[in-house]
Structure 1
Amino acid sequence: MSILIAFLSLLVEFAVGYPSWLLGAIGHPVTWFGRLISFLDRRLNRDTDSDALRRRRGVHALLIIVLVPATIAFAVETMLAGIPAGLILTALLATSLLSQKSLTEHVEAVADGLDNGGLDIGRVAVSQIVGRDPEKLDRAGVCRAAIESLAENFSDGVVAPVFWIGVGGLAGGVAYKAANTADSMIGHRTPRHEAFGRAAARFDDLINLPASRLTALLIVLAAFLVKDADAGNAWRTVQRDAKKHRSPNAGWPEAAMAGALGLALAGPRSYDGVMVDDAFMGEGGRRDVESVDIRRALRLYRVADFLLMGLFGLLSVIVIVA
């Protein structure tokens, strides 16, 4: 029934997001994961320890971060399976692991901010969804950042969690989200976290691999159905540029989005005052990106998301019939 849980959670989260009454009752799991990760970081990651010891402790921390929440989720799902509405309740809990609705709202806020409030408001809006320095972004840079975030977060905020829910039920989705949160908090190449967070970063790369490829395929297929999108160029751009990205996974959805829209995404950008010389996704595409392109990207994303729901709906029918 994991596939059906994944499908139902997609439908509910697309329509209403993470239900507010559930958020008020139990909070958000990412908050719980964050507290656990921060606690382990304080206790196990000591500046006086050697890099080798910090790497080993990083592995131990990752095991705790993934296995403890996943075990609790498995127990909850097992308990709910014994009651009539258990499947629905499990799917409602799983909506907390998805971000279809919030992703749309945050990216739309960037386009609306640029159109109605100007560059400064657009920078504030985009700072909510990207880690780069917003004050150094011009209007085109803000637009590119929003579209890149949309593509990447479609992969690791929607496709990846629903993939792992489909594979392992609520426990699979929770394990994924906990690991992904660990990567976002400690999986950085900073003096404090390069050794301790290495396991989290490597594991996140591994578990996002299937979803990033599936996301690229969904965007390519969606481009066949969206006006002013080029599916052929999306496919060619994925083949040519996806592996040029510094991330083994982010390049796939970003390249697909860039090719479909005829844009040049990624490229050199600043993080915490440090310039990162990344390759362009969609080299040769248009770089003077505008707010209208953010809205084009959102249309493409919505169609790709519908295709994802259709895929899990079809798989659910197959599971039920079988």
Structure 2
Amino acid sequence: MKKIGIILANLGTPDSPSAKAVTRYLWQFLTDPRVVDLPRWKWYPLLKYIILPRRSKRIAKTYTQIWTKKGSPLLAISQAQQTALQQYFDQRNIDAVVELAMTYGNPSMESAVQNLLKKQVEKIIVLPLYPQYSSSTTLAVFDCFARSIKKLRNLPPIEFIHSYHLHNKYISAIVNSIKERFKSDEFLLFSFHGIPIRYENEGDFYRQHCKQTALEIVEHLGLTENQWGLSFQSRFGREEWLQPYTDHLLKQIATDQNVQKIAVVCPGFSADCLETLEEIEQENKEIFLENNGLSFQYIPALNARPEHIEMMAELILAKANS
């Protein structure tokens, strides 16, 4: 096998839980046309002079609540994934180099590419850690990678992993993580990150992937229709996003359906981050319990679980041998 270079790509995180660092990160994130596709002349002044001054301090405060000694949970977990995957290949004498890259923030995609080229890899495989494809995430990674190689002339062959929402090891890993914590008297809610519904109308098939993932997991768990639900979280701005919204659904099922015990799993997140540790485990937990709910538990992302690492390796080796 040729010497392969692997880039594990995720969204990104601020360098610190400060308003300045959050502002810098959000500017990079929210000026990506894959994320917000409004005309620049209209969007940039609004973002710079109204949105960021209002949101950065508040978001920095929420980051402070989840920040660890190793830094941002997303970065720390991603580094653990990188280390575990490298060890997986080393233990099997597979000539591979694993680099970590964030679409926004650090470590950058450009640094990951340069590190691989310095180590003279003969093939580069990019794995966006988004099981369900979306133009706002997966294609944003592709764009970022394309920008990082724009001035290069010595580029080896490239493979880009599109999605893995129904991969058998991904599904089994999620199922096993649920089985470890889920109780028979709980309602299971699948919460996926949302996208504007306009993106779907323009051809993005993200919702379809989310539903397929949830249905496959439900089948393995043997749940009935009234034992589970699906929702979308983390909407931004006034535009309509994919529904039902997670916070609205939690309130509804607690008050109207008399659901008192709930477990929430977020299969679209490969690593725990602000959206899971703060938005789900804190904000949405509070919403549920304030509306007659009795118990709420968040089932962690796959993070660096061995099954998750094995799945990554299988995806990569399939591309390496193609």
Given the two structures, how large is their TM-score scaled by the length of structure 2? 0.31
Point out the structure with the larger strand share. 2
